[in-house]
Structure 1
Amino acid sequence: MVVVPPVLFDAPKRSPLTHAIMGPIGPVRDGVRRLVLTLPSYLFIAVLLLACAGLGFVQPWQTAAVLGYNVAGIGAFYVLVRTGMAQALAKDPSLAFQRVMFNASMVMLAYALIPLARGLALQWLCMTILFDMRRLSALQVRVVAASAYAMLIGVVLLILEVSPSSIDRDAEFVNVAMASVTLCVLLVVTHIGQGISQHRKAQKVELERTVAKLNALSVRDGLTQLYNRRHFQTLLDEEVRRSHRCRRPFCVAILDIDFFKRVNDQHGHATGDVVLREVSRLLQNAIGPTHALARWGGEEFLLLMPETALADALNTLEAVGRAVREHDWADHAPGLRVTLSAGACQHGQGLNLTPTLELADRALYQAKHGGRDQVVAVTA
């Protein structure tokens, strides 16, 4: 078989700073990139809190507490992902579930410390869950929703216990009720979205399998799984060009199962199909990985032997004939015996392939009329 070496392209060069920050290509870099995508939302929150603190709507210590918690959490996640520890700690190297739980706790911290943020806490919480919804399992989404709701109720009860004058009971009751409804709707939407995502993944897998089958059918014979004639013609043309370019010989051989019609007549066509498949398997095992084999038509096979002189081709064909001859065919049908005849030809430089195939076919004719179960070789 002609093996075409892959064309190698230079990978895009990255600066040492980028490599140091983002990490090596693979799960580590993907996890860091996922974390970087969340930074604009954190930055927006930080700017908003600082502006509110500057205008006197929020106490500086409250802003410092929320921002400090935010920075510490992001820093911890970055270290875990960048060092690769996240892969050892969790199946998801981006730590999506852990980050969503952290975001929920951050929202609850802001809810407890900053009264001005309580009206936006629910929306903020939903956004943090939706951002990583596709990366969470159904169980993880339920855990996040239940934990967030439990934290919200706990924070409200704590505020009522510590500083009841700082909270509007009716407004907080509405917030908790809306959180119940919103989180339930979010669970339903998440379930539907994940169902659609799984359906699409299943469709993609099925499509890939179908494409693989179609590709196999386009180059393989359905019965023997050898190359079919149409695809093998492409391999032959490539070998002719390669031989002319490199000035190296190659041989082709046409092999035919002796008295195959008799096999079908005496043992049935089902046994004939078994013989074709078994002969194909024996030939593949005998020729080695550097040669290519096709079902050329009916009970005929075509063997391509790149960079092979005629003497070496004869040795290969003798081994092939011996493997078929010595196989225990009685296991497939009582009294069954199978042999091969072959005609081989070494391709001549400067010629197209048609004369070579014609000479191989004539050599096969001589082998069959000379007693069968033999090899006849000629040179173009």
Structure 2
Amino acid sequence: MRTPSRWHRIRDVVLSTDRRRRTLVAMALLALVLMTSSAGVMLMVATASSAVNAVAVQWWAAISVGGMVVMTAFIRSGETARLSDPSLTVPQMVWTITSGAVAYVLAGDARGVVPAVLAMILFFGTFGLTVAEVIGIGVYALLAFGCAVAATTRFNASPFGYLDTAYALMVLIVLGGSIALNLRIQRIRARLQEQREALAQALAVNRDLATRDELTGLPNRRAMQDLMELERRRSLRSGRPLLLAQLDIDHFKRVNDSHGHAMGDRALQAFAGAVRASVRDTDVLARWGGEEFVLLLSDTRINDARDLLERVRAAVAAMEIPHTSGTLSLTVSAGLAQHVPHDTLELTLERADLALYTAKSLGRNRVAVAPSPRRGSRSHSAQT
């Protein structure tokens, strides 16, 4: 196993080894970097302008960045994982909007930079919010900056001039545009989510159609081949018996010719239901093609399997399928073969098919069992 590099070890310490928490911490660190950068800009303004209260800006910077540091550390600790908002998106946005409103008051003539920072904050936090949260954050931002605009004149001890009006209008434009953009993004996200769900449902239907017979709901030939191969490997490892049976509805062509294909479809559905009701939950019945079916019996002795097929035969013979001119009865013939270790499934199915041929040649409506092949040879006979 490769030893992690120093960079990977540092990354794991900072971001955590948990994949989901690592993403949350990375986003929180990005928000912290943005807040730190904004604080740096404010400190630069305070240094360059004698009209700005440098001490107040320094306190503002320490409190604003410190709050983000606390929330980032809280996320990194994993304590937020049990919260409905583990990324603390709403608290972070409320904190940064409040910080921005205070910065607007403190920045003096340089407060024109605050709307750009505000837009970045609102856009950055939108992806983890619901529509209600976006609206709530927008309303809070309007109130916070409304109070900031109102407090600016008194704090700076100067009359409300055209620059103050321009800045206030810019804040309103940024807030309105950001809220509208956020709501648009939320609608796009909702539409994409609906499309993903529809696509997932369509894929599930396609997977089901690829593995299920549409008429009977049974596994189709392709799915059954995969299941048989899986059971063959399992049987080879465990040494438990594996048996395959070929089932064929007797004289099914007469049903289609005499009563039509719609009645034939109903007969196939009724047959599948009767067989499934007669076998165990662990047995797998598949439609092999037309009126032919394959039954997979795992961990079953040959005599028990034959008794089970006799129950199936009796259940099918007892069916009465109503139609326009009365009722329809069916019978089934079955050929059973036990899989021999290291033989192919195709050979086992061939032996089951030969046993089925024997059952039909003996008068149908019966079960025939294929004898085990002799070592070194392939037997094509069957016993009843």
Pair in the same fold by TM > 0.5: yes
Higher relative contact order by CA 8 Å / sep ≥ 6: 1 or 2? 1
Q: Does 1:305 align with 2:297?
A: yes
Whether the 8 Å contact between 1:251 and 1:345 is mirrored in structure 2 is yes
| Residue in 1 that maps onto 2:381 | none
Partner secondary structure for residue 311 of structure 1: helix
Q: Using the alignment, how far apart are the partners of 1:317 and 1:332 within structure 2?
A: 31
Residues 34 and 318 (structure 1 numbering): CA distance in 2 closer, same or farther, change over 3 Å? farther
Which of 102, 106, 113 is 2:99 aligned to? Answer: 106
CA offsets 1:112-162 (integer angstroms, 9 cap, x no match)? 223265121101111111112222233332332232122222212123234
Q: Using the alignment, how far apart are the partners of 2:36 and 2:335 within structure 1?
A: 77
Partner secondary structure for residue 34 of structure 1: helix
Q: Using the alignment, how far apart are the partners of 1:213 and 1:135 within structure 2?
A: 31
Partner secondary structure for residue 327 of structure 2: coil
Shift of 1:21: 7.2
Shift of 1:68: 1.2
Which of 360, 366, 377 is 1:368 aligned to? Answer: 360
| Residue in 2 that maps onto 1:64 | 59
What does residue range 60-99 of structure 1 map to in structure 2 within 5 Å?
60-72=55-67, 74-76=69-71, 79=74, 82=77, 84=79, 87-88=82-83, 90=84, 92-99=85-92
Partner secondary structure for residue 38 of structure 1: helix
Q: Using the alignment, how far apart are the partners of 1:351 and 1:332 within structure 2?
A: 48
Whether the 8 Å contact between 1:81 and 1:94 is mirrored in structure 2 is no
Shift of 1:275: 2.7
In structure 2, the gaps of 5 or more residues are: 374-384
What does residue range 256-335 of structure 1 map to in structure 2 within 5 Å?
256-326=248-318, 329-330=321-322, 334-335=326-327
Letter in 1 for 2:334: A
What does residue range 196-235 of structure 1 map to in structure 2 within 5 Å?
196-235=188-227
Q: Using the alignment, how far apart are the partners of 1:333 and 1:246 within structure 2?
A: 52
Residues 141 and 245 (structure 1 numbering): CA distance in 2 closer, same or farther, change over 3 Å? closer
Q: Using the alignment, how far apart are the partners of 1:84 and 1:287 within structure 2?
A: 52
Q: Does 1:190 align with 2:182?
A: yes
Between the two proteins, what is the percent identity of the paired residues?
A: 31
Letter in 1 for 2:262: A
CA offsets 1:282-329 (integer angstroms, 9 cap, x no match)? 434443343333211111101122343422322332343344445564
Residues 162 and 72 (structure 1 numbering): CA distance in 2 closer, same or farther, change over 3 Å? same
CA offsets 1:6-64 (integer angstroms, 9 cap, x no match)? xxxxxx9x9899589759665x6654443233222123234444555566765133222
Shift of 1:94: 2.2
| Residue in 1 that maps onto 2:334 | 342
Which of 26, 34, 38 is 2:31 aligned to? Answer: 38
Letter in 2 for 1:112: V
Q: Does 1:130 align with 2:115?
A: no
Q: Using the alignment, how far apart are the partners of 1:162 and 1:116 within structure 2?
A: 12
| Residue in 1 that maps onto 2:345 | 353
| Residue in 2 that maps onto 1:157 | 150
| Residue in 1 that maps onto 2:378 | none
Whether the 8 Å contact between 2:42 and 2:107 is mirrored in structure 1 is no
Residues 77 and 281 (structure 1 numbering): CA distance in 2 closer, same or farther, change over 3 Å? farther
The TM-score normalised by the length of structure 1 is: 0.80
The TM-score normalised by the length of structure 2 is: 0.79
Letter in 1 for 2:201: R
My pick for the range that moved more, 336-345 or 325-334, is: 325-334
Q: Using the alignment, how far apart are the partners of 1:124 and 1:99 within structure 2?
A: 14
Residues 349 and 158 (structure 1 numbering): CA distance in 2 closer, same or farther, change over 3 Å? closer
Whether the 8 Å contact between 1:291 and 1:303 is mirrored in structure 2 is yes
Letter in 2 for 1:191: L
Whether the 8 Å contact between 2:38 and 2:117 is mirrored in structure 1 is no
CA offsets 1:237-278 (integer angstroms, 9 cap, x no match)? 454455556554321100122333344345543232223223
Q: Using the alignment, how far apart are the partners of 1:123 and 1:267 within structure 2?
A: 78
Letter in 1 for 2:33: P
Which of 139, 142, 149 is 1:146 aligned to? Answer: 139
Residues 80 and 357 (structure 1 numbering): CA distance in 2 closer, same or farther, change over 3 Å? closer
Residues 289 and 50 (structure 1 numbering): CA distance in 2 closer, same or farther, change over 3 Å? farther
In structure 1, the gaps of 5 or more residues are: 1-11
My pick for the range that moved more, 306-315 or 171-180, is: 306-315
